[in-house]
Amino acid sequence: MGNREDFKRKRIGVLMGGMSAEREVSLMSGKAILQALQGLGYDAWPVEADEQLAWRLKEKKIDVAFIGLHGRLGEDGAAQGLLEIMRIPYTGSGILASALSMNKVVSRQIFMKNGLPVPRHVVVGLGNEAKFNPAHFPFSLPVVVKPTEEGSSVGVTIVLDEGQIPEAMEIAFGFGPEVLVEEYIKGREIQVGILDDRPIGAIEIVPKGQFYSYEAKYTEGMAEHLLPAPLPKGDYDQALLLGLKAHRLLGCAGATRVDMMYAEDKGRAGRFFVLEVNTLPGMTGLSLLPEIARGAGIDFPDLVERILLGACLKIPLKAAGMKAKPKGI
């Protein structure tokens, strides 16, 4: 954790926008982060994260990057790699943890190998969609069809009957060459907030639609938020433990949000299924991490500042094979 006064002497660039399907959400997060930092007296500036990102960072003489990006080329390790090369300390997880968390297939393989419960699923590659046959799956309809590397429920469809499959696959393949098809778990949607390597709380989301869709996430009144999540104490504590384990298994840092399902069965304790880890959770007015933080007594400016003070480079110069910052060729 860095020193507050040291950061007050640095120029902070809030990276926002980007080129993913979550650009608009990123702009909302970035503006909220920027306002909080400026209100706390930091020398903070907005930085558009497009093809000219490296040039913009250099032009604005940015010393530290607060990453307010979501989705690919921002949350998947790409921006983190650029910042490592430019030797600009940044918030959140490093390159590998970001890439692992963004890829639902790889992250679930890691979870399964380490005993974390995940939904049963299959992966369908582009070109093999004709072989998609629910009759051969180890689970029955309904199923959830989603891109392997998108967030905010972008491209997600709940398929109730076989007639919906072609359209669902077309939507999901619009975001990448692989699609994840998983069993539909009827239950409750639980999210756990992690800050500085400890769980700070769990919230339950009760969407008014079929599931916690993109629209439900960013439209006021489309979902009910229950904080703290109304679970039996043993199950609540288990949710926090699973969230922290998932965060650590992927090597995450800073603030993350772990999404899971809680399948209830009368007569026995609920059962959790870990879905994914979000390394750059939303920071909008309807976002869950800030709400979880408020429940733990951490207001939005304090949350933003705590994330900022954790900014650092994850690859030291020695590990990169360099003795000093290069001055050019």
pLDDT at residue 310 in the model:
97
Instruction: Give the CATH fold of the 1-92+299-329 domain.
Output: Rossmann fold (3.40.50)
Q: What is the pTM of this model?
A: 0.88
pLDDT at residue 324 in the model:
55
Every domain of the chain with CATH number 3.30.470.20 lies at 186-279
What CATH homologous superfamily does 186-279 map to? Answer: ATP-grasp fold, B domain (3.30.470.20)
pLDDT at residue 188 in the model:
92
Could you please report the per-residue DSSP string of 73-111? TTSSSHHHHHHHHHT--BSS--HHHHHHHH-HHHHHHHH
Taking residues 94-101, report their average pLDDT: 97
The architecture in CATH of the region 120-183 reads 2-Layer Sandwich (3.30)
Q: Over 50: is that where the pLDDT of 184 sits?
A: yes
Radius of gyration, alpha carbons of the chain: 20
pLDDT digits (tens, 9 = 90+) for 257-288: 999 999 976 545 568 999 999 999 999 888 99
More confident residue, 327 or 118: 118
Q: Check the CA dihedral 225-209-26-198 and report its sign.
A: positive
Q: Average model confidence (pLDDT) for the chain? A: 88
- For the ranges 18-32, 143-157, 210-224, 289-303, the maximum mean pLDDT occurs at 289-303
Every domain of the chain with CATH number 3.30.1490.20 lies at 120-183
Q: Over 60: is that where the pLDDT of 328 sits?
A: no
pLDDT at residue 286 in the model:
81
Residues catalogued as catalytic: 22, 152, 218, 257, 259, 276, 278, 282
